[in-house]
Amino acid sequence: MAEAKACPLPSFTPQEVAAAFVKQYYFLLRDSPGDLYKFYQDSSVVSRVGSDGAMTSFTTMDEIKKQVLSSLDCKEYDIFSCDSQFTANGGVFIVVVGCFTTKNDEMSKFNQSFLLAPMEGVNGYFVSNDILRFFDEQETKTIPTEDVPAAFSASTPDDTASTNDAPEEVVPKKSFLSVVNALNENNAPFKAPPVKKSVGKAPQESNLDRKNGLEGKKNTTNVENVKGTSIFVGNLAMDSKPEELYEAFKSFGPIKRNGVQVRTDKQNRWFAFIQFESSGSAQSAIQASFIRIGNRKLNIEEKKRNDYENRKFSQESINGNANGR
């Protein structure tokens, strides 16, 4: 029990830690791979498949930096799923399934596992173990450049989407601790424990009154569009419930009372509006590329004023090209 005393981290859920880590890790992998080694320490162990097909492990910061740069080719990425759980010593185990688009416009599906270990004396983590394996090469296929829609990329919001140059201010200077501190300042999933506890104790029926939620599509009262705190969610199934959306998005930050409204338009396309307590939480949700409910990948955008009346969102945003992705 003495070890737990040195690791006061479980004030966050493993899903919150994983969401923040995955967002930062793959963003740097794509935009600033030379800084990716800063998530690790000399004691970290990283494993990659070599040219002979055998898994090879290496350690130390210099070797990790060299191997990470030489083994990964990422022009773009898409995260399909992210699962996590706490370990016995206060760490977080994360399993990520996704797809890299290489500079040759080839799609390579991958499975990557991380073990985040607590950093001594501080409220943060570093990557202790990292294993990456690509799926069978038979599944690798070339994709036409014009068929890669921006809606399915992991790009940052619209004001930075015009360039792939890595914004220098988001690069961790020392370790994953820097990421934690940056997220704290931006009201992202890493928040002061009292705030998170108040969300965890909130009765589910109070946040999402079942009657009000199920009749959301008939409710004419719009979610208050406080600038930057509300998001639009498209490509919902016909039986989507506010409770499902609340569970899917609560890890990004506190959601306002009755802040989830499910609606449908005249073409019977289902969508929702979600209002967070802070703009930082809304931006974290917009940047996430791995949110799914069932087999549907949700399309997430910032809610603009008069969206419900003017329907400024594209048909693609609402129905995901009608393919259920």
**pLDDT by residue (tens digit) across 49-69?**
887 888 889 888 888 888 877
Question: What CATH superfamily classification does 200-320 receive?
Answer: RRM (RNA recognition motif) domain (3.30.70.330)
Q: CB atoms < 10 A from the CB of 139, how many?
A: 11
The domain segmentation of the chain, as residue ranges, is: 2-185, 200-320
- Candidates 272, 287, 276, 229; CA nearest to 254 is 276
pLDDT lower than 50: segments of the chain: 1-9, 137-175, 177-226, 307-325
Give the pLDDT score at 305. 61
Domain 2-185 has CATH 3.30.565.10: no
Give the pLDDT score at 86. 93
Q: Rounded to an integer, what distance in angstroms lies between the CA atom of residue 91 and that of residue 38?
A: 18
Q: Do domains 2-185 and 200-320 have the same CATH topology?
A: no
Helices (H), the chain: 2-5, 14-31, 61-71, 176-185, 193-200, 204-207, 210-214, 242-249, 279-287, 307-310, 315-319
Q: Tell me which residue has tokens 């509006």.
A: 273
The tokens describing 183, both together, are 């997220």
- Candidates 78, 70, 66; CA nearest to 27 is 78
pTM over 0.95, yes/no: no
Angle at which helices 14-31 and 176-185 pack, to 10 degrees?
A: 110
Q: Rounded to an integer, what distance in angstroms lies between the CA atom of residue 167 and that of residue 195?
A: 29
Give the pLDDT score at 129. 95
Q: Rounded to an integer, what distance in angstroms lies between the CA atom of residue 226 and that of residue 224?
A: 6
The tokens describing 147, both together, are 């068929």
Give the pLDDT score at 289. 59
Q: Rounded to an integer, what distance in angstroms lies between the CA atom of residue 42 and that of residue 125?
A: 14
Q: Whole-angstrom distance between the N-terminal and C-terminal Cα of the chain?
A: 45
The answer to whether 83 and 90 are in contact (CB under 8 A) is no
